[in-house]
Amino acid sequence: MQTVVNLWPLLGVFVIVVGFVLRFNPLLVVSLAAIVTGLAASFSLEHIITLMGEGFLQTRALQLILLLPLAVIGLLERHGLRLHAQNWIAKFQRATVGRLLIMYLFVRETTAAVGLTSLGGHPQMVRPLLAPMAEGAAENKFGKLPEALRHKVLAMCAATDNVGLFFGEDVFVAFGAIALMHTFLLGSGLDVEPLHIAFWGIPTAICAFIVHALRLYRFDLQLTRQLTSPQSSITPGSREAAQ
């Protein structure tokens, strides 16, 4: 006997997508998505608000865990952490943005594969260390970066951390996604050991490393092409004078 599945609660996902595309406040978007999901699941508004309040109380200590590292990193940045990172990478003449990020990708993916997912991350690694080092490597080779290219460098730093974490943690057998896939396959009649699922995540992680490393290599070539072309060496003032 088949059971009818109510798909209306998936409207909450639609609310999140629309809210993020329109760049509304993330907290309001997530809260509205929770309310829409609850109403679609036939929960009363009072019950939805109660569940949201209980969830907040159960995880209130999490806010302290998240805010303390941010406060420490902000204090370090105020005392010149970003500047020291840029000056340190400038000592390596052969350092480029691509080479630096390929090394970080390898370290990030390898450590995530053994469960050390907290060794990296955007607030504690990318913003205070990786991004300034990438900027320093680029400026050491090409001088001051145009604003558009500087943002591309920062975006590539964030993307490298995401790729390394996402594909690296799928190799770790105690990761939640492995348990989720094991449960899903078990419900479909396929009894696959979690260790085998994690093992077959290794080829995917290797392919992801190769693909993103090639992207970083091409990004190095793109920076060299754009910043060493004759047009890039002409300042706006000299262009107007030439005209």
What is the identity of the amino acid at 74? G
What is the identity of the amino acid at 31? S
* Residue 232 in this model has a pLDDT that exceeds 60: no
Q: Please state, in angstroms and rounded to a whole number, the distance separating the CA atoms of residues 90 and 84.
A: 10
Q: What is the mean pLDDT of the chain?
A: 81
Cα angle 10, 13, 19; round to 5: 145
**Percent helix, strand and coil across the chain, each to the nearest 5:** 80, 0, 20
Q: Please state, in angstroms and rounded to a whole number, the distance separating the CA atoms of residues 188 and 35.
A: 31
Contact indicator for 88, 132 with CB cutoff of 8 Å: no
Q: What is the pLDDT of residues 132-162, one digit of tens each?
A: 889 888 888 888 889 999 999 999 999 999 9
Q: Please state, in angstroms and rounded to a whole number, the distance separating the CA atoms of residues 34 and 31.
A: 5
What is the identity of the amino acid at 187? G
Query: Which conformational region is residue 203 in: left (phi greater than 0), alpha (psi within -120 to 50 degrees), or beta?
Result: alpha
DSSP string for residues in 39-81 = HHTT--HHHHHHHHHHHHHHTHHHHHHHHHHHHHHHHHHHTTH
pLDDT tier at 1 (50, 70, 90 boundaries)? very low
Buried b (16+ CB within 10 A) or exposed e, 88-112: ebeeeeebbbbbbbbebbeebbbbb
Q: What is the pLDDT of residues 79-119, one digit of tens each?
A: 666 677 767 777 777 888 999 999 999 999 999 998 888 88
pTM over 0.75: no
What are the tokens at 105?
């990708």
Closest CA to 117 of 164, 186, 158, 83: 164
Q: Is the dihedral of CA 167, 168, 169, 171 positive or negative?
A: positive
What is the identity of the amino acid at 67? L
Query: From the DSSP assignment, how many helices (H) and strands (E) are in the chain?
Result: 12, 0
Q: What is the pLDDT of residues 37-48, one digit of tens each?
A: 999 988 998 898
Closest CA to 161 of 114, 124, 200, 189: 124
Q: Average pLDDT, stretch 21-44?
A: 89
